[in-house]
Amino acid sequence: MKSIPKLIRRFVLLLLLSIFLFLVLNIGFLIFYTVGHSTNGGPWTTAQEAAESMEETESGYVMSAAMQAELESENIWAVYIDNSTLKAVWRSDNLPDTAPLAYTASEVSSLTRGYINDCPTFTGTGEDGLMILGYPQKSYWKHMYASWDYQMIESAPRVAVTVLAANIIPVLLIYIGANAGLLRSVRPIVEGIRKLPEGEPVRLKEKGILSELAFHLNKTSEMLQSQKYQLRKKDAARANWIAGVSHDIRTPLSMVMGYAAQLEDSEYLREEDRKKASAIVHQSRRIKNLINDLNLASKMEYNMQPVIREEINAVALVRQIAVDFINMDVEGRYPVEWETDEELNICRISADKELIKRAVSNLIQNSMNHNEDGCTIYVAVSVSQPCCPAEKSAAAGEQAERIKEYCVISVEDDGAGASEEEIEKLNHAPHYMVCDTNTREQRHGLGLLIVKQIAESHGGKIEIGKGRYGGFGVKIILPLASNDRRL
Amino acid sequence: MLSDYIKKKRILLVDDEPELLDMVVSILEEAGYVNIRTAQSVAEALKAADEFDPDLAILDVMLPDGDGFGLMEKLKEKGDYPMLFLTARGEEEDMFRGFGLGADDYMVKPFLPKELLFRVAAILRRSYKEEDPLVKLSGCEIDLERAEVIRGGERIPLTAKEFALLSALYRNAGRIVTIDALCEAAWGDNPYGYENSLMAHIRRIREKIEDNPSRPVSLVTVKGLGYKLILARQARK
């Protein structure tokens, strides 16, 4: 929108420049034309030259042959009168009969300004006489009574400029007026185009000079809106479908899990049969986790999971999760080590409690799933410090320093771990749920995808790598509540 | 580990799937519960509630003639007893709706029998105090009713904070209770910055209940995480 006045300014400048150019061109052309019609210096000059070419000989006055030839070629007649007698002392051969041979002072004055028998006359002063040249009729137009007020001539430049301005200003006003009209009809269209990528519906009035443009813009917006609606509908349908399927699986799976768990504890079964029941329970739990993960992952992916943020204490939350796992792990196969600094009891983050709980639980569950023979799980919450001294000194004041701090929740184990290559893949390859190509290769668990989605929905990120104890390790990095910034 | 008093509580079970009802009944019966009645619809459940006068209701959300939320509201009008949702509806909004209506717990299928039993027992213990409210520890007994420690015939009174902490620990006996949960139990909704006070209170409780307060056996520390109250039976086990 800001570019429009700039555009108008540019056009006005262009207009001024073209007016100026026109003026220069016109004046130039005028000068060229006038000069082109007076190549021989004009009739007054010719008359003067003719007067000067007169020579007094014994047999009277004689004109030079060259001059005579020139006059004849242009059909000009000439007469030379003596200063003292005012009578012709020389005449050209083509002098018409009607031209007088003697003049009075008033006649001389009259012919100097005007005509003799409609022939425009011009005079030049010789040594002792006056040369009168008579040009053919209609060869020149003479202004007989030319005289101007001196003041008018004096103020001519000023008048010229004023007239010029008086001409340019109305042109400019007309132009700006027309432009303002255009601008008025352009503004809603520009506004409409700005709205398009923001996904807002655009509905312009289809009238005025740009009605066609408005019409097409409306059409485009309609199409985009309908596409957006279709896309949302499709996403919602997909998420609902997944939610429906996982819902329908829950009740039958309850039965599998419930009866298998009862058999697992049955006194009447042989040890090996109880083990089989135990395996069914274990696998049912995996299916249960998978259903939960699938459901949440699809909802997060299609933006259908509300993120209800409140200020929570990450230390308390993660401590509760760790304790829940310890309390559940009756056999003690997966001991949880709490590695948080004892001084750190509060780490405030602005987050959805249930989602963060889900993310951390997923990481612990992940360690358990990948280490069937048991492993120790190390859980810690920390506040990350500024990464290097240079940055610390560059940051002016405590405020700037705090910006570099994040809440880091880490879950590590001393189990099987993963190879560098696998870690690289986990960190960078897209999951099959969010990837539109090559779905065969990326088949790592949904658990980590959810953790990533949750961290990102809170403006954070995750780092997957090797644990300090040899196994697998994942860090969830979230902004602190006091300086909620995206990573 | 359930007392006969708890085992005799009447439990109403509502679910539209007869097979699931059979299974849950078998789980509860195996755990020792003896008074169980089932219903497969809202109508049946309302009728059963009138005749059976339950002490606890376990409800499904999706029923053929209505939903569990509506059923719960109707049951609450008839009598004030704890209710638990056991449903395939795992959405947070459903869970919040259930708790909003006054549910005591909300479990999402599939579930492990142990999980269900633990929650049922916890609700029943919380809602129906046993006649003998004495908590037996290795070296003493705690009378939660009168907030006193009984030790060698002597009765030692507990302060309000000590009582709040011991109650919270007893409700989760044998399980770790986090520092934060204990602070919340003693100091309420904004329990930050009380970690040192908590340690002081724990020390004083130990002086009252432990034979050797510096080597506790009933109220044990789980470093960095929280504390655990070990009952005499568990201690012996």
Residue B153's Cα: distance from chain center in Å?
30
Among chain A residues, the shortest Cα distance to B195 is held by: A345
Q: Which residues of A touch B20 (CB under 8 A)?
A: 251, 254-255
d(CA B149, CA A157): 117
Does residue A487 lie within any of the structural domains?
Answer: no
pLDDT at A228 over 60: yes
Residue of A250, A313, A345 with shortest CB distance to B88:
A250
| Confidence check: pLDDT of A388 > 70 | no
CB-based contact, B197 to chain A, within 8 Å = no
Across residues B200-207, what is the average pLDDT?
Answer: 94
Asked if pLDDT for residue A456 goes beyond 80, the answer is yes
Task: Report yes or no on A8 lying in a domain.
Answer: yes
Position B128 scores a pLDDT of 83
Out of A243, A285, A320, name the one closest to residue B181 (CB). Answer: A320
- Residue A205 maps to a domain: no
**Are A255 and B181 a contacting pair at CB < 8 A?**
no
Check if the beta carbon of residue B169 is closer than 8 Å to that of residue B220.
no
Interface size A-B, in CB pairs within 8 Å, comes to: 95
Cβ–Cβ gap A285/B112 under 8 Å: yes
> Which segment of A121-130, A223-232, A428-437 scores lowest on mean pLDDT?
A428-437
Cis? peptide before B110, omega within 30° of 0: yes
What's the number of domains chain A is made of? 4
Q: Does A261 touch chain B (CB under 8 A)?
A: yes
In this structure, are A127 and A180 located in the same domain? no
Q: pLDDT category, A430, cuts 50, 70, 90?
A: low
Chain A residues with CB under 8 Å of B24 CB are: 258
> Are A345 and B192 inside 8 Å of each other by CB?
yes
Q: Nearest residue on chain A to B20, judged by CA atoms?
A: A255
A41 falls in which pLDDT band (50, 70, 90)?
low
A280 vs A246, A256, B206, CA distance in Å?
Answer: 19, 8, 44
Q: Which residues on chain B are in Cβ contact (under 8 Å) with A261?
A: 112-114
Q: Which residue of A has its CA nearest to B96?
A: A354
Nearest Cα residue in chain B from A286: B110
Whether the CB-CB separation of B162 and B205 falls below 8 Å is answered with: yes
Predicted pLDDT of residue B89: 87
Is residue A399 within a helix (H) or strand (E), and if so which, with residue range?
helix A397-403
Question: HEC string of chain B?
Answer: CCCHHHHCCEEEEECCCHHHHHHHHHHHHHHCCCEEEEECCHHHHHHHHHHHCCCEEEECCEECCEEHHHHHHHHHHHCCCCEEEEECCCCHHHHHHHHHCCCCEEEECCCCHHHHHHHHHHHHHHHCCCCCCEEECCCCEEECCCCEEEECCEEEECCHHHHHHHHHHHHCCCCEEEHHHHHHHHHCCCCCCCHHHHHHHHHHHHHHHCCCCCCCCCEEEECCCEEEECCHHHHHC
For residue A324, give the CATH number of its domain.
Answer: 3.30.565.10
Same domain, A448 and A333: yes
Same domain for A280 and A334, yes or no, is no
Residues A218 and A73 in one domain: no
pLDDT of B129: 73
Q: Return the amino acid letter for A3.
A: S
pLDDT digits (tens, 9 = 90+) for B8-41: 899 999 999 999 999 999 999 999 999 999 999 9
Could you give the percent of chain B with pLDDT greater than 70?
Answer: 95
Does residue A341 share a domain with residue A425?
Answer: yes
Q: Is residue A206 domain-resident?
A: no
Last residue of a domain, one of A299, A322, A338: A299
Last residue in a domain, options A269, A299, A329:
A299
pLDDT digits (tens, 9 = 90+) for A5-38: 777 788 888 888 988 898 899 999 999 888 776 5
- Pair of tokens at residue B115: 């999980």
Q: Does residue B120 register a pLDDT over 90?
A: yes
CATH number, domain at A230? 1.10.287
- Answer yes or no: is A229 within a domain: yes
Instruction: Check residue A419 and report its DSSP letter.
Output: -
Among the partner residues B17, B91, B225, nearest to A319 by beta-carbon distance? B225
CB contact under 8 A, B109 and A250: yes
pTM of the model: 0.64
Does A441 have pLDDT greater than 70?
A: no
How close does chain B come to A258, measured CA to CA in Å? Answer: 6
Asked if residues B56 and B69 have their Cβ atoms less than 8 Å apart, the reply is no
Q: How far is A435 from chain B (nearest CA, A)?
A: 26
Give A305-316 pLDDT, tens digit per residue: 888 889 999 999
Q: Is there a single domain that holds both residue A328 and residue A425?
A: yes
Q: Which amino acid is at B105?
A: D
Q: Does the pLDDT value for residue B162 go beyond 90? A: yes
Please state, rounded to an integer, the average pLDDT across all residues of chain B: 88
Identify whether A198 is part of a domain: no
Among B15, B91, B109, most A C-beta atoms within 10 A, so best to mutate, is B109
Q: Which of residues 289-318 of A touch B (CB under 8 A)?
A: 292, 295, 306, 313, 315-316
Do A399 and A252 share a structural domain? no
- Cβ-contact A131, A47 below 8 angstroms: yes
**Cβ–Cβ under 8 Å, residues B104 and B84:** yes
pLDDT of the residue at A394: 44
Gap from A399 CA to chain B (nearest CA, Å) = 23
Confidence of residue A389 (pLDDT cuts 50, 70, 90): very low
For residue A74, name the pLDDT band (cuts at 50, 70, 90). confident
Minimal C-alpha gap between A300 and chain B (Å): 13
pLDDT of residue A39: 52
Give the per-residue pLDDT at A487.
Answer: 44
- Considering the domain architecture, whether residues A314 and A421 belong to the same structural domain is answered as yes
Based on the domain organization, do A227 and A126 belong to the same domain? no
A269-290: pLDDT as tens digits: 999 999 999 999 989 988 888 8
Q: What is the mean pLDDT of residues A439-449?
A: 65
Taking only the tens place, the pLDDT of each residue in A334-383 is 999 999 888 888 888 999 998 999 999 999 988 988 888 889 999 999 99
Q: How far away is chain A from the Cα of B20, in angstroms, using its nearest Cα?
A: 6
Last residue of a domain, one of A299, A327, A342: A299
Same domain, A257 and A356: no
In angstroms, what separates the C-alpha of A377 from chain B's closest C-alpha? Answer: 14
Where in the sequence is the domain holding A445, given as residue range(s)? 310-479
* A87-142 per-position pLDDT tens digit: 888 888 888 888 888 888 888 888 888 888 888 999 999 888 899 999 988 888 88
Highest averaged pLDDT of the listed ranges A56-70, A102-116, B202-216? B202-216
- Chain B CB contacts of A339 below 8 Å: 224
| Averaged pLDDT for residues A468-486 | 79
Is A203 a domain residue? Answer: no
Predicted pLDDT at A303: 79
Does A33 share its domain with A153? yes
From CA A292, how far away is CA A227, in angstroms rounded?
30
Asked, for residue A142, whether it belongs to a domain, the answer is no
Q: Please name the amino acid found at residue A247.
A: H
A232 and A378 together in one domain:
no
Residues A209 and A351: their CA atoms lie apart, in Å, by 53
A258–B113 C-beta distance less than 8 A:
yes
CA–CA separation, B74 vs A407, rounded Å? 46
Closest Cα in chain B to A328 = B175
